[in-house]
A = this chain, B = another copy of it.
Amino acid sequence: MNENRALDAFAALSQETRLRIVRLLVTAGPEGLSAGTIGEAMDSASSSRMSFHLGHLEQAGLVESRREGRSIIYSAALSTLAGLIEFLMRDCCQGHPEVCNPAMAALSSCCEPTKGTAHG
């Protein structure tokens, strides 16, 4: 993750429809959902609007797509989300891990912690 990719990702996440799409795909897991299914889950979604937003998210690296028959299936790019978190919080500790523990707690309330070392 570098600054320009982070800026693209945050810009992509700062729009209501796109943020909803990403959160929907995060909960949908690796199997993902078709463009049409995603559109049905959004209010007032024209096909061109969905295409615009899904393309924007893919360009930003936040979602990935694959074709399955007539449908295009989108799924969340969790490694980009992880990179974004790491980029934002990089060097947050400075030897005082308690400073950024709120962010850790937020994630560990969702996920089993993995082993890691504090660099501060």
Q: Which residues of A contact B (CB under 8 A)?
A: 3, 6-7, 10-11, 13-16, 19-20, 22-23, 26-27, 29-30, 78-79, 81-83, 85-94, 96-97, 99-120
Contact = CB atoms under 8 A, between A and B. Distances in A.
Nearest to A113: B113
A118 B64 CA distance: 26
Given A3-B16, A16-B7, A99-B29, A111 B82 contact: no
B105 A109 contact: no
A111 B118 contact: yes
Contacts of A30: 99
Contact of A89 (B16, B26, B113): B26
